[in-house]
Amino acid sequence: MHRSIKHNRLSHAYLFSGPKGAGKKKMAKHLTEAIFCLRQDGDSCGECKNCRLIEEGNHLDVHWVQPERNIIRKEQIKDLQKKFSYRAAESNHKVYIMEEADKMNQEATNALLKFLEEPPAGVVAILLTSNIHGLLPTILSRCQIISFNAPSPEAITKQLEQEGVRPGLARAAAQIAHDLEEARTLCQTESFAQMRSLVIQLSEDIMERGTYALVTIHDKLLKQEKDPDKIDLFLDLLLLWFRDLLLFLLGQESQITNNDQMEPIQKQALRISQRRLVEGMGTILVTKNRLTHYANLQLSLEDMVLRLQEG
C-alpha cells in the first residue's frame, strides 16, 4: 500500500478482515496517517502535524464510524456523506474508517453501497470487520480485501508483558483467550489471578488431601461464583494446569505455560502418572461440555473432583 500511496494509486475502498486483536484498527490508523503524512514518501512519519492530529483523533478530514447500540444506521452514513460533500480541510483526501462494518442494518448497507459506487474524488473508505460473512457480496466486490491473522499466543504474551502484566498470568491468558483484547481484559480482572491460585490449590488437594478437595471446590468456588463464564474460565485454567503437569513428565518444560510455578508443578507431577493426567484432562473437558448444556453446576463439579481423585 505504501507504493500505491506514493504513486497516487490508492483504492477508493479497503476492507480489513480478521479476528479481534489482529491489528486491523492499528493498521487503519497507520494507513490513514500515511495518506496524509506531510513527508509524502508513502509511509507515515508519526511526527508531522497531520500524523499527530490523526493519532489524537482530531484531523478534520478523517472520520470514524462506530456502531451505536450495536448497530450502524442509515443516518450515520447520510451524516458521513454530508460531511464529505464539503471540500477537504487539510489536503486533497478524505478518509472514513468504519469499525465493525458487519453491524450495518439494511438501510445503512444500501446507503453505503451507493457511496461506494459513486465515491467522491479523493475519498478513501476503510471498513473493518471480524465477520466478513456479515457483509453483502455487493459491498465486498467494491473493496480491496486485506486479511489479518490472529496473533499467536507468543505475540499476545509479549504484548501483555510489555504492558506490565506478570509473565505467568500473561502466558495463561494468551493460551486461554481468543485474541489480545480478551487476554488483556482477563489480566485486568482481579479474579483471574485468584482463579489460577485456586486451580493450583485444588490440584494439590486432589492429590494429597483426599475428599477435602470437595470442601475446597465448594467453599472457594461454588460459594463465591455463579457466573457461568467464570466457571468456564476456572475449568480452562485447570485444564491448562493438568497439561503443564503432563508436559513436565514428558520432559517438555520449555512448553509449560505456568512456568512461574515450577515448584508446585514439579511437586505435583511427581505424584501422578501420565495416564492419570490424560484421563483427568478428559474429565475436565467432559465437565465443560456438560455445563454448556445447563447441567447442575454443583453436582457436575463435585463429580469432576471425585473422578480426578479416583484416576
Banded pLDDT at 222 (limits 50, 70, 90): confident
Residue 273: domain span: 189-310
CATH number for the domain spanning 79: value is 3.40.50.300
Question: pLDDT above 70 covers what percent of the chain?
Answer: 95
Same-domain status, 8 and 115: yes
Could you tell me if residue 210 is inside a domain? yes
Domains held by the chain: number: 2
Could you tell me if residue 53 is inside a domain? yes
CA distance linking residue 25 with residue 257, whole number of Å: 29
Q: Residue 124 contacts by C-beta under 8 Å, 6 or more apart in sequence?
A: 10, 11, 12, 13, 14, 35, 93, 94, 95, 96
Domain boundary among 103, 122, 150: 150
Q: What is the pLDDT of residue 49?
A: 92
Q: What is the pLDDT of residue 122?
A: 83
Cell of 137: 457480496
Banded pLDDT at 176 (limits 50, 70, 90): very high
Residue 62's nearest CA partner among 106, 39, 31, 38 is: 31
- SS3 assignment, position 97: strand
pTM confidence score: 0.64
Domain boundary among 131, 150, 169: 150
pLDDT in tens, 226-276: 788 889 999 999 999 999 999 999 999 999 999 999 999 999 999 999 999
pLDDT in tens, 132-162: 999 999 999 999 999 998 888 998 999 999 9
Question: pLDDT above 90 covers what percent of the chain?
Answer: 63
Helices 190-208 & 297-310, crossing angle to 10 degrees? 50
φ, ψ of residue 127 in degrees (nearest 5): -100, 140
Q: Residue 95 contacts by C-beta under 8 Å, 6 or more apart in sequence?
A: 32, 35, 36, 61, 62, 63, 123, 124, 125, 126
DSSP-derived letter for residue 118 is: S
Q: What is the pLDDT of residue 89?
A: 52
